Chain A
Amino acid sequence: MKPSHPSERERSPKLENRERFSAEPDSLLAVGLGWVVAAIGALVLVGWVADLPTLRNPVPGQIEMKANTAIGFLLLGLSLGFAKRRRLRPLVRVLAGVVTVLGLIVLLQYPAGQNWGVDEWIIRDVENPVGTVHPGRMAAPSAVNFVLLGTALLLLGTRRIGVISVLALAACGVAVVAFAGTLYSIPMLDAFGPFTSMAAPTGVTFLLLGTGVFLTVGARLTGQARRYGLIIGFVVALFLLLLLSGAVLRNIQRLADSNRHVIHTHQVLAKFDALLLVMQDLETGTRGFLLTGDEQFLEPAGPAPALAEEHLHGLQRLVADNPQQRERLVRLEKWVTAKLRASGRQIELRRQGATVTEAALAAAREGKEVMDALRDEVAAAVTEEERLLDERRIRTDTDTAKTLLALGSGLVASVVILVAVFLRLRREIAVQSRLTVALRRSEESLAVTLHSIGDGVLATDTQGRVTLLNPVAEKITGWTQAEARGRPVAEVFNIIHEETRAPAPIPVEKVLATGEVHDLASQTSIIARDGEERAIADSAAPIRDAEGHILGVVLVFRDVTESRRAQAHLDRFFDLSLDFLCISGSDGYFKRVSSAVTDILGMSIEEFLATPYLEQVHPDDREATEREVERQMKAGEKVLQFDNRYRHKDGTWRTLSWRSVPHGGFMYATARDVTEVRRIDQQIRALNNVLEQRAAQLEAANKELEAFSYSVSHDLRAPLRHVQGYVEMLDRDAQDKLSEKGRRYLRTIAEAAREMGMLIDDLLSFSRMGRAEMRETEIDPNALVDEVREGLAPEAAGREIRWNIAPLPRVRADAAMLRQVFVNLLGNAVKYTRKRPVAEIEVGSTGADGDRIVFFVRDNGAGFDMKYADKLFGVFQRLHRADEFEGTGIGLANVRRIVGRHGGRTWAEGQLDAGATFYFTLQDAQAPLPAGPISL
């Protein structure tokens, strides 16, 4: 046996507290009983050592408690008395062990039929002890009980409280049975051979001891065992009381019996006395008549035969149960008959004349003999009856004493047991009422909880019938709790598969069968009583009591119509997305990808998920991908655009463009196949490079051109100016010396130089128009036209010109350039109408050419041949001779260039000698701006 059970020290303080609290009264009683038993043992032992029979046995003649039994009680009593002192536990075990061994040895002696000297080892038994087979040997049930209780006390302090309780209760049972046997003097073990009977006090003491041992652990029993303990205690007490009542009843019966016997005996004695008296009366009467012959003497003797007969009959009735007395009565009857006959003969003799003497002698002889015999018989009968009476009286006394003893001890035992039971019950009731309060509170709290819970709750019993519906469940099922209660769950909880519409299995039966929690299959809908259908999610769990027995099933479910619909939308969105959607974890695998992966990379979703994504990335892109993922996961930054190449199942590489947001350790990313886009991008970039080169070349050319024209404007003009200057000086200086011809030459030189200067100026201005930076603003052409018209006043001086200028819409243009357009067009109009007596010049706008406004300038001047319309806008192209209309042929070229730079176009209509119309288009100020500036 282990010295101490580990669990004993490891028990939690809370448990210990509760145990101490509940075990205290029981333990006190147990320890008290231990001390009482030890005291009884000690007392009896003193009775043996000091040879005081009263101490050994309160009732003389009864079976005495053996000395070894007393030792056993002393040791076990002490063991129990110390049971609750943890430090003395070794002592408790040693004492219990010794007694167990003692009991075992005694037990072994019985079947072995031997005597190993244990019985009288310490103290010799008395001579001829009552109810004893082997001197000094304790009763077999006592030995059994010592083994049982010794073992129980040995186990004390371990967790085997069940074993201890059973042992203690078994000992009590043995004690009760043995006690009953002793009480009713039933030789129960005789069938097995000679056994020593158990003394009544021994039985009672065992009961006390057993109760005590049981109480040490009784409080630690739980639930059922505790109830059984109580019931057994109660039954034992009841049985004891019944036994005692039976014994008392029996004894009372015996006492009544004894009384009847005494009365009977007295009746018998009285009858015998009466018989004797009758016979004596007969004798006396007969004798008097014989002596005197006086018939008067015969008077009392007259009825004697009849009386004798009557008494004899009475006696025969009274002693009918006693054969000895019956024989004796037969003999007595003979004598009585003989006496009666003798008396009659003597009386006859005297009447017939015999002498007194003869008659007296005969009577005396005969009478004495008969009477003596008669007296002897009666005396013997009386003695016999008196002996019987004594015997009965002693037996009654013994019975009474025994009954009293049994009554006393039994009462003590039952009182102890009842007190124990009462204490136990009182504790139970206290605990129970506490539990009831706690239960009510928990039930109230449960009811409130169920009522306020957001999920539907439906409970069934083990038959699958509804026992409870909370308000949410009532709403979802359409049943009230009152209506639903007791109905089969399938009737109330009508669920189907969302798509197949087939009834869905309710997990109640499965839960009842397996005792496990079951979830409802997904896509389950419930049809409410009113036919309304709702998607639900649900789980079913067994309801168990404290012992783990299943009491029913609870279904918890919720309306997930909305969330399932939302989920369906999300799933559909995820699956239908043309972009590739995916969620990846930090372990390098995608967790979920949309089916677009198949379209983009040719792989099934499963194939794609099975490989770490980095392995699917182009080796050259892996480092950048890792860096990007790292940045995202560590810094939590979004990826707005990141390209990498993934392997297509056919071995090609597809360029994916990613956008991704990290959240909670996952990356939520979208990718788009941009392989084509990127390829085209690359082509565009290449083309752009070429274009940029071209543009650079163009710019360089432009620069050169600019430098050229700059140089032209300075260096080409300088000598021209010098020619002019010196011609002027020559003219001044040598006017007188030159001939008319010479002066004309000089004028021609000056004129030619001036013309060349104009040509250079126009050329430069045309060149500038092509290069000058444009600043488009919203312009009111009306103001511009007015301004230009005023500027033309010198040319128009002295002429009749009818201006017909319509209101013009606002346009977007470069103000200076547009001004130049009007200068040129209006200037031309004025110039070419010079030969008209009345010049008519019209400026207006007509409708639209796309999003552009068409302007026109019309005159009634010289006009032109439409054959040459194309040449009109060419540089230095002229349709008139210089002597008709002066000009350099640059004006309309400038107009076309300016309008062209504004994105518009120019054209002209005319007829020789019938005027001309010049058209140009410009951007409407209201129209939206073009995407980019247009440059030539």
Chain B
Amino acid sequence: MKPKHILLVDDSPRDTELALEALEQYHLANEFVTLRDGAEALDYLHRRGQFAGRDGSDPAVILLDLKMPKVDGLEVLRDIKADPRLRVIPVVMMTSSREEQDLVRSYQLGVNAYVVKPLNFHEFIEAVKVVGAFWAMLNEPPRGSQSPFQP
């Protein structure tokens, strides 16, 4: 069975490129869907606008840039956590600095993890582990089973 896709939302094409480049070297099986801003992300998640009637399941993990034009990461996060269907999807907030106020607000809104850009693979994997989406990312794990790769 095909693993679920990962949604990456960032307005900076350089960051996106750097992130994908960093992750690509490790040949993850997951498909990456990249979106350019928060409004697109919401349309995608709610299957509306240009994404109305799109195929496929919900992403395994959402990587959200905090600072974006139009609808920023925090707003998208609030929307996701307010939706009974979407709130179960782990969200990892990405930011270029560790501004305390950003951290505080993100956690208040229910973010699952927090990473500083540029995203490198190790940080990414750590974050994904923290949010408990590692298996979701790879496959649908049987409930209660242990990871064979867990050290």
State which residues 741-781 of A face B: CB under 8 Å: 761, 764, 768
Stretch at the interface among B13-21, B79-87, B105-113, B140-148: B13-21
Residues of A within 8 A of B12 (CB): 718, 722
Min CB gap A304→B, angstroms:
194
Contact of B14 among A710, A722, A768 (CB under 8 A): A722
Contact of B100 among A715, A724, A761, A768 (CB under 8 A): A768
Bound Cα distance A144, B79 (Å): 139
B150 at interface by CB-CB < 8 Å: no
State which residues 43-72 of B face A: CB under 8 Å: 67
A714 at interface by CB-CB < 8 Å: yes
With A718-B12, A722-B14, A724-B118 known to touch, is A729 a contact of B99 (CB < 8 Å)?
no
Residues of B within 8 A of A764 (CB): 97
Is there contact, CB below 8 Å, between B18 and A714?
A: no
B117 at interface by CB-CB < 8 Å: yes
Q: Tell me the nearest residue of chain B to A721, going by C-beta.
A: B118
Is there contact, CB below 8 Å, between B18 and A722?
A: yes
Query: Can you give 13 A-B contacts (C-beta < 8 A)?
Result: A710-B99, A710-B101, A714-B96, A718-B15, A718-B96, A721-B15, A721-B118, A722-B14, A722-B118, A724-B118, A726-B14, A729-B21, A764-B97
Is there contact, CB below 8 Å, between B99 and A721?
A: no
Bound Cα distance A717, B14 (Å): 13
Residues of B within 8 A of A710 (CB): 99, 101
**Size range of the interface on B?**
10 to 19
Min CB gap B51→A, angstroms:
27
A462 at interface by CB-CB < 8 Å: no
Bound Cα distance A721, B120 (Å): 12
Residues of A within 8 A of B21 (CB): 729
Is there contact, CB below 8 Å, between B99 and A713?
A: yes
Query: Which residue among B21, B96, B99, B118 has the maximum number of chain A CB atoms within 10 Å of its CB?
Result: B96
Residues of B within 8 A of A726 (CB): 14, 18
Is there contact, CB below 8 Å, between A714 and B118?
A: no
A454 at interface by CB-CB < 8 Å: no
Residues of A within 8 A of B99 (CB): 710, 713-714
> Which label, helix, strand, loop or mixed, suits the secondary structure of the A interface?
helix
Bound Cα distance A729, B96 (Å): 19
A246 at interface by CB-CB < 8 Å: no
Bound Cα distance A20, B14 (Å): 136
Is there contact, CB below 8 Å, between B100 and A725?
A: no
Min CB gap B60→A, angstroms:
25
Residues of A within 8 A of B117 (CB): 718, 721
Instruction: Give the 10 A-B CB pairs with smallest separation, nearest first.
Output: A713-B97, A725-B18, A725-B118, A722-B14, A717-B96, A714-B96, A718-B96, A721-B118, A714-B67, A713-B99
Min CB gap B122→A, angstroms:
14
**Size range of the interface on A?**
10 to 19
Residues of A within 8 A of B118 (CB): 721-722, 724-725
Bound Cα distance A729, B101 (Å): 32
Is there contact, CB below 8 Å, between A721 and B100?
A: no
Min CB gap A376→B, angstroms:
188
State which residues 717-740 of A face B: CB under 8 Å: 717-718, 721-722, 724-726, 729
Is there contact, CB below 8 Å, between A714 and B15?
A: no
Residues of B within 8 A of A761 (CB): 97
Q: Tell me the nearest residue of chain B to A723, going by C-beta.
A: B14
Bound Cα distance A541, B96 (Å): 107
Bound Cα distance A726, B22 (Å): 11
Is there contact, CB below 8 Å, between B97 and A717?
A: yes
With A714-B67, A729-B21 known to touch, is A722 a contact of B97 (CB < 8 Å)?
no
State which residues 671-722 of A face B: CB under 8 Å: 710, 713-715, 717-718, 721-722
Bound Cα distance A764, B14 (Å): 24
Q: Tell me the nearest residue of chain A to B12, going by C-beta.
A: A718
Min CB gap A726→B, angstroms:
8
Knowing that A714-B97, A718-B12, A761-B97 are A-B contacts, what are 15 other residue pairs whose CB atoms are under 8 Å apart, sorted by A's residue number?
A: A710-B99, A714-B67, A714-B95, A714-B99, A717-B96, A717-B97, A718-B15, A722-B12, A722-B15, A722-B18, A722-B118, A726-B14, A729-B18, A764-B97, A768-B100
Report A224-236 CB contacts with B as 1/0, cut-off 8 Å. 0000000000000
Report B115-145 CB contacts with A as 1/0, cut-off 8 Å. 0011000000000000000000000000000
Bound Cα distance A696, B97 (Å): 29
Residues of B within 8 A of A713 (CB): 96-97, 99
Min CB gap B116→A, angstroms:
9
Bound Cα distance A725, B117 (Å): 10
Residues of B within 8 A of A718 (CB): 12, 15, 96, 117
Min CB gap A405→B, angstroms:
146
Bound Cα distance A722, B17 (Å): 10
Query: Which residue among B18, B97, B117 has the maximum number of chain A CB atoms within 10 Å of its CB?
Result: B97
Min CB gap B89→A, angstroms:
25
Min CB gap B140→A, angstroms:
33
Min CB gap A773→B, angstroms:
11
Bound Cα distance A714, B97 (Å): 6
Residues of B within 8 A of A768 (CB): 100
Bound Cα distance A90, B80 (Å): 125
Q: Tell me the nearest residue of chain B to A729, going by C-beta.
A: B21
Residues of A within 8 A of B18 (CB): 722, 725-726, 729
Q: Tell me the nearest residue of chain B to A719, going by C-beta.
A: B14
Bound Cα distance A768, B98 (Å): 12
Bound Cα distance A768, B101 (Å): 11
Residues of A within 8 A of B15 (CB): 718, 721-722
Report A13-56 CB contacts with B as 1/0, cut-off 8 Å. 00000000000000000000000000000000000000000000
Q: Tell me the nearest residue of chain B to A722, going by C-beta.
A: B14
Q: Tell me the nearest residue of chain B to A764, going by C-beta.
A: B97
Min CB gap A84→B, angstroms:
117
Min CB gap B106→A, angstroms:
14
Bound Cα distance A715, B117 (Å): 12
Residues of B within 8 A of A722 (CB): 12, 14-15, 18, 118
Bound Cα distance A876, B141 (Å): 54
Query: Which residue among A725, A729, A764 has the maximum number of chain B CB atoms within 10 Å of its CB?
Result: A725
Residues of A within 8 A of B14 (CB): 722, 725-726
Bound Cα distance A768, B117 (Å): 21
Residues of A within 8 A of B100 (CB): 768
Q: Tell me the nearest residue of chain B to A757, going by C-beta.
A: B97
Bound Cα distance A710, B101 (Å): 10
Contact of A721 among B67, B96, B101 (CB under 8 A): B96
Bound Cα distance A724, B15 (Å): 11
Report A71-91 CB contacts with B as 1/0, cut-off 8 Å. 000000000000000000000
Q: Tell me the nearest residue of chain A to B67, going by C-beta.
A: A714
Min CB gap A727→B, angstroms:
11
Residues of B within 8 A of A724 (CB): 118
Bound Cα distance A715, B101 (Å): 16
Bound Cα distance A116, B67 (Å): 156
State which residues 1-57 of B face A: CB under 8 Å: 12, 14-15, 18, 21
Residues of B within 8 A of A725 (CB): 14, 18, 118
Min CB gap A721→B, angstroms:
5
Report A300-339 CB contacts with B as 1/0, cut-off 8 Å. 0000000000000000000000000000000000000000
Residues of B within 8 A of A717 (CB): 96-97
Min CB gap A922→B, angstroms:
24
Q: Tell me the nearest residue of chain A to B97, going by C-beta.
A: A713
Q: Tell me the nearest residue of chain B to A712, going by C-beta.
A: B97
Min CB gap A765→B, angstroms:
10
Bound Cα distance A715, B67 (Å): 9
Bound Cα distance A715, B15 (Å): 13
Q: Tell me the nearest residue of chain B to A761, going by C-beta.
A: B97
Bound Cα distance A17, B29 (Å): 134
Min CB gap B90→A, angstroms:
24
Min CB gap B96→A, angstroms:
5
Min CB gap A652→B, angstroms:
57
Min CB gap B46→A, angstroms:
27
Q: Tell me the nearest residue of chain A to B117, going by C-beta.
A: A721
State which residues 802-861 of A face B: CB under 8 Å: none
Min CB gap A720→B, angstroms:
9
Query: Which residue among A717, A721, A726 has the maximum number of chain B CB atoms within 10 Å of its CB?
Result: A721
